[in-house]
Every structure is written in structure tokens, then in C-alpha cells.
Amino acid sequence: MTETFDIHHGLSAALRDRAEAWRFIAGFAAYWGQPLKPGDGWSSVEVETAERRLGLALPTALREAYLLLGRRTDLTSNHDRLLSPDELYVTDGALVYRSENQGAASWGVLLKELDHDDPGTVMRTDLAEKSRERWEPWEPGLTAACIEMVMSEVVLFDDGFTDFLEVDAEEAAWAPPLRQLPGVGREMRWFSGEDVLVREFDGFCLNVRARTEEALERLRDAVPGDWLVG
């Protein structure tokens, strides 16, 4: 297990540079779970087969993500799901690469932006009235979307030291004794402390992952409330 990981410096660099993003994800995976290893990604043959089936070329960032970690479900599919190459599909002008765990939303890249190395991403909510469904802007780049995916899937992983707290929206500026991370993920704020990572979603939902029971208890003590587990 990696014992040191500068998440603040690594995340800042990752949001500026695609190569740094993959280095960050590798370090993050090793620190919060298991290191990446050969075979954790889909093969280039599998990705190219998907491209031929679809009749298009994947953006460089999406191809790199599949080759690096596409098979690591602990990093991609604990809650929402990164589609496998043979599940990729096109609908209403976008290539869909990720789906919400109950099919309530999809994430994709507009076809007109597929020639960009790191295109922006879009999201569409599944509605009863299909005529109202629209692709809405999501993350500004695919690498940023992959970083958010990995961080979110790890913090939502049931195995290990995790917990959940719903706080009053007016008290959402809580944060002790944590440090806020550079911004990644729409409607999210991220915080880290000693052996603990927190995702604040939609202003009041806190998902917590710790590396030790002691670290989790320290956070619960610092942020009183009706914790789901503790």
C-alpha cells in the first residue's frame, strides 16, 4: 500500500494536463485501494473493435482511460457505471460512455466534438416525457470527468471504512478539520484530511471514505450528526 500521496498537488496538476491526470489516478488508486497493473485496462484490439462497430474514433482521452483502467470496476462502477467498449452507443448526437446505476441519467460526448483529444462531456436525465430530454453540459473535459468518476466511485465503495451524513444546507460550510481540494465534479466539493476523503454533493450530502477506523472516528467527532453507520 502506498503510504504517501499528495492529493492536493496531484489533483491540481491533473486538472491542467492529461498525462498528469493518469498519473494522479494511478497514485490515487494505489493509496485508496489497489495499484493499477497490466490487464486493468481493455486491450487496444477491444477498443478498436468498438470503434469499427460504431463507425467512429474515440477521443484520445477516452481511449487512454479504457486502456489504463477500463476493467477496474472498483474505480469505475461501484455506483454509476463506465460502459465497456462493446456497450458504447450513440444516441441523439452523442456517444454515451457512462450510465447512472438505475438508468436515471447518461453521460456522453457530443459527436461533433469527438475529434478533440479531450472534449467536454454532457449529461442527460432520463425523463418520463422523452421529448423533454436534452444533453446538458457536464465536465469541461473527459479527463476531468474520469478523475471525478474514480474519486466518486472510490468514496462510494461499500467495502472498507465509509459513512454518509446528510447535513442542513445552511450548515454546509462545515469543513473542520479538512482542507478543500481543487474543484472537480459538478455540484460537488471535495475535502481531505489525515487518511480521510470527503465528497460533499449538492451542498449537503457527505460521502466519506477513510483508510482506518480511527480516521473515520476522528471525522465523525469533528462533524457531529446522524451518521448512517457510526
Q: Which residue do the cell numbers 487518511 mark? A: 195
How many C-beta atoms lie closer than 10 Å to residue 23's C-beta?
14
Cell of 21: 491526470
Average pLDDT on 219-228 reads: 89
20: cell is 498528469
101: helix, coil or strand? coil
Q: What tens digit of pLDDT does each residue of 90-110 get? A: 999 999 999 998 888 999 999
Q: What is 174-199 written as a DSSP string?
A: --TT-EEPPP-STTEEEEEETTEEEE
Closest CA to 155 of 63, 99, 79, 83: 79
- Give which of 181, 164, 146, 160 is closest to 72, Cα–Cα: 146
**How far, in Å, CA of 120 to CA of 112, rounded?**
11
- Residue 2: HSE in the Cβ half-sphere, 13 Å Cα cutoff: 16
Helix (H) or strand (E) holding 205: strand 205-210
- pLDDT-derived band at 230, boundaries 50, 70, 90: confident
Q: Identify the pLDDT of residue 32.
A: 95
Sketch out the chain's domains with CATH numbers.
Answer: 7-149 (3.40.1580), 160-222 (3.30.310)
H or E stretch covering 31: helix 18-32
Residue range 39-67: mean pLDDT, rounded: 98
Residues 185-211, mean pLDDT to the nearest whole number: 91
Instruction: Answer whether 99's CB lies under 8 Å from 79's CB.
Output: no
Tell me the one-letter amino acid at 173. Answer: A
Q: Are 111 and 122 in contact (CB under 8 A)?
A: no
- How far apart are the C-alpha atoms of 169 and 114, rounded to whole Å? 38
Torsion of CA 160, 185, 101, 96, to 10 degrees: -140
The confidence score (pLDDT) of residue 1 equals 47
Give yes or no for a contact between 32 and 211, defined as CB atoms under 8 angstroms apart. Answer: yes
Residue 122 has pLDDT above 80, yes or no: yes
Q: What pLDDT score does 174 carry?
A: 60
pLDDT tops 90 at residue 2:
no
Give residue-wise pLDDT tens across range 125-182: 887 677 778 999 999 999 999 999 999 999 998 788 999 998 875 555 565 678 999 9
**Residue 216 CB neighbours (<10 A):** 22
Nearest to 168 by CA among 129, 85, 214, 226: 226
Counting every residue written for the chain, the total comes to 230
